Chains A and B, each alone.
Chain A
Amino acid sequence: MTPRETLEAWQRAGRRVVHEADAKALLARIGVPVPERDPAGGRCVAKLCHDGYPHKSDHGLVRLGLTPEEAVAAVAEMAARIPGGTPLIEAMEQGAVAEWIVGCKRDDTFGPIVLAGPGGILVELIDAAEIRLAPVTQEGAAAMLGTGPGARLLEGLRGAPAADRAALARLISRVSVFFAENADLVSEIEINPVMVRADGKGLVAADALIVLAPAVGNKEHDA
């Protein structure tokens, strides 16, 4: 099944908000780096993913800094509370120097657009995202990262190491191309945060969400 066929199958199944585990599995197939799953050691993140609960932490469905054994116990506890979810245990990213949001959506006026800016908790604090028509090339994405207040964060403030801007630009371009090619099926893709490591060390998508467009003939439910 191609990624597009997967989207079509989800849409046929009536899904609207696709949970993190499935969203990440799809994004991994288009080249988005995701954390190692079910690691044998080290610190882990335990989550229970469910289309009906996109805001997981509000429902106690995210736990950080666990051992692998603790993580298995944690997802079992979550699954007992919320039936029908998909457990997700991943290696916890600890080398990031910046957290970024990368999002795509269909704008009513301009069609597919892509947004990138300071992510994680900074989204709540400062609204410094750059917005462009999607798709953007890698060069276009690099220009986005060099513009606005976020640029200084990626350069490394006050002696902090610079973030891997090339890897982030590749990711922005790749996601925007995939979104624009499938904008008839997808309303939004959001990766937040992208954990960006120091220059040359890459990045991983720590959380992701895909919102599907309603199936054709079902448009009135979109309004």
Chain B
Amino acid sequence: MTGNETNQQAGRRPPVAEALDALFDPETIAVVGASRTRGKLGQQVLALLRSNGYAGRIIPVNPSGGEIEGLPAARSLEEIDCPIDVVILATPVNIALDALETCARLDVKAVVGVTSGFSEAGGDGHANEARLRRILRDAPFRLIGPNCEGVVRPAANLQLTFSPMFNGLRPGPVAMISQSGALAGLMALRLGERGVGINAIVSSGNESDLTAADLLEHLGNDPQTAVVLCYVEELRDGRRFAEAARRLVQAGKHVVAVKGGRSRAGSRAVQSHTGAMAGDDRVISAIFRETGVIRAQESVAAVDAVTALAAGRRPAGNRVGIISVTGGLGVEMTDLAESAGFEVPVLAETTQQALSQYVPFYGSVTNPVDLTGVVLANPTYVGRCLAAVAADPGVDIAIAIITFVPDQQFIEALAEAYEGTDKPVLIVWTGAARSSASGDSLRDRAVPVYDSPARAASGLTALLPMKGEVR
């Protein structure tokens, strides 16, 4: 039985929107399994919730009562004397199931189950799953998970998770839905490093109740969301996911998806050519393309795609202008752009004249522009050259490639040139780790910065997908 069928059978379940509104902006959170013992899930959840500055009421729930992390603990959920927006379950599976039964009798809006030991576990897990489904059949709350890493919402200082991978994120346009908690952490960390802001992250786990399609609809419709990033292994409600994605794309938003487990062989006997030709992976690629979902080959490519899209600038066409402090990287970027279906046209006469003021005779002002090492001695030149290329009427997207950076002024000049144009700009900074200059002025503006031409090509492809998936 799928999660979807369960939902359809249940007439009395509360609306998804009501539960998720409460989940993402809760006034009261109960942490079941809150503990004083370092290393326990419940201790980590409570500590992260506290250290990230959540301002609402937190109620630790522990049978021994007393105080935990300086907060008065309830001995049970029943002891709590007010409505509870969110219950997070961080206990062994049997205690979690008992708590879910209690939640069904109380005024609880949403439950987040980081507890494992259900269908994913086999053996006893199946019995636990069956009990879970019985509880969910007419539960007055909605469940995220179980077997998930939790929920993160930077704007509400909300960290409902045991994982420290989501610390220090800033609010912004990206919503993330991941069936793998670890991949959510990897992607969040990398987006955070680039200054890309996050609206919400949901690790959806087993999706015994709320599915990726539910979350896509809700988070996608949130006006704060401009880009939705999804990692999925099994789409339980694929039709609704696809229809929701199509509506979001039509509304001008972006959906980037990584589909894991693509090599799963079909087990059903094939009666026809149609069956053989429409294999699982082919169909997913085709339907994603049809509905406007940008498919990324793996999670890092997806992050690269989202980094470019989150900047919120749309290219008018496929013509790329490239400036580089070195010939070799400019050539590689050109090759990658062209093989992704982009053009790297010769720049306009006036642009070439403008560039000639800064580029010595042994450089090149056509496209890709080879600035040569001279620009390293004149830190503002690189910014002026980027501005000149971005202003070219024959250029839709500008790419600036730098290696090591001589001083802070060099980076400030690039950031200024980025602000000075409405066109998409990507920056390849190969020497980031070794440079003395700080990239904060780029991060603060969430300028798409990549560490190699290949990674920048993933971002470029997402801006105007022409040939298949983002690699």
| 1/0 contact string of A118-162 vs chain B (CB within 8 Å) | 000001000101111100000000000000000000000000000
Q: Complex formed: what's the CA distance from A132 to B287 in Å?
A: 6
Q: Which chain A residues (152-186) contact chain B, with CB distance < 8 Å?
A: none
Assuming A108-B280, A130-B286, is B274 touching A190 (CB within 8 A)? yes
Instruction: Answer whether residue A117 sits at the interface, using C-beta atoms and an 8 A cutoff.
Output: yes
Min CB–CB distance A77 → chain B (angstroms) = 27
Assuming A130-B286, A131-B286, is B278 touching A105 (CB within 8 A)? yes
The answer, among A17, A109, A127, for a CB contact under 8 Å with B284, is A109
Q: CB-nearest residue of chain A relative to B238? A: A109
Are A109 and B280 in touch, CB under 8 angstroms? yes
Task: Enumerate chain A residues within 8 angstroms of B272, measured Cβ to Cβ.
Answer: 54, 103, 105, 188, 190, 192, 209, 211
- Interface SS majority for chain B: helix
Q: How large is the interface on B (under 10, 10 to 19, 20 to 34, 35 or more residues)?
A: 20 to 34
Min CB–CB distance B450 → chain A (angstroms) = 31
Q: Which chain B residues (268-289) contact chain A, with CB distance < 8 Å?
A: 268, 271-275, 277-278, 280, 282-284, 286-287
Task: Enumerate chain A residues within 8 angstroms of B242, measured Cβ to Cβ.
Answer: 110, 133
Are B277 and A129 in touch, CB under 8 angstroms? yes
Assuming A107-B283, A109-B284, is B268 touching A190 (CB within 8 A)? no
Instruction: Answer whether residue B314 sits at the interface, using C-beta atoms and an 8 A cutoff.
Output: no
Are A111 and B238 in touch, CB under 8 angstroms? yes
Instruction: Answer whether residue B432 sits at the interface, using C-beta atoms and an 8 A cutoff.
Output: no
Instruction: Answer whether residue B124 sits at the interface, using C-beta atoms and an 8 A cutoff.
Output: no
Q: CB-nearest residue of chain A relative to B290? A: A132
- The count of residues in chain A whose C-beta lies closer than 8 Å to any C-beta of chain B is 29
Q: CB-nearest residue of chain A relative to B237? A: A109
- Interface SS majority for chain A: strand
Task: Enumerate chain A residues within 8 angstroms of B239, measured Cβ to Cβ.
Answer: 110-111, 133
Assuming A130-B286, A133-B239, is B274 touching A105 (CB within 8 A)? yes
Are B238 and A17 in touch, CB under 8 angstroms? no
Q: Which chain A residues (51-108) contact chain B, with CB distance < 8 Å?
A: 54, 101, 103-105, 107-108
Task: Enumerate chain B residues within 8 angstroms of A1, measured Cβ to Cβ.
Answer: none
Instruction: Answer whether residue B235 sits at the interface, using C-beta atoms and an 8 A cutoff.
Output: yes
Q: CB-nearest residue of chain A relative to B239? A: A111
Q: Complex formed: what's the CA distance from A223 to B239 in Å?
A: 21
Task: Enumerate chain B residues within 8 angstroms of A190, measured Cβ to Cβ.
Answer: 272-274
Min CB–CB distance A39 → chain B (angstroms) = 28
Task: Enumerate chain A residues within 8 angstroms of B291, measured Cβ to Cβ.
Answer: 133
Q: Complex formed: what's the CA distance from A130 to B272 in Å?
A: 16
CB-defined A-B contacts under 8 Å, sample of 7? A105-B272, A105-B278, A109-B238, A110-B287, A115-B277, A131-B282, A209-B271
Chain B: residues with CB nearer than 8 A to chain A? Answer: 235, 238-239, 242, 267-268, 271-275, 277-278, 280, 282-284, 286-287, 290-291
- A sample of 7 more A-B contacts (CB under 8 A), given A17-B271, A209-B271, is A105-B272, A108-B280, A109-B283, A110-B242, A115-B277, A190-B274, A192-B272
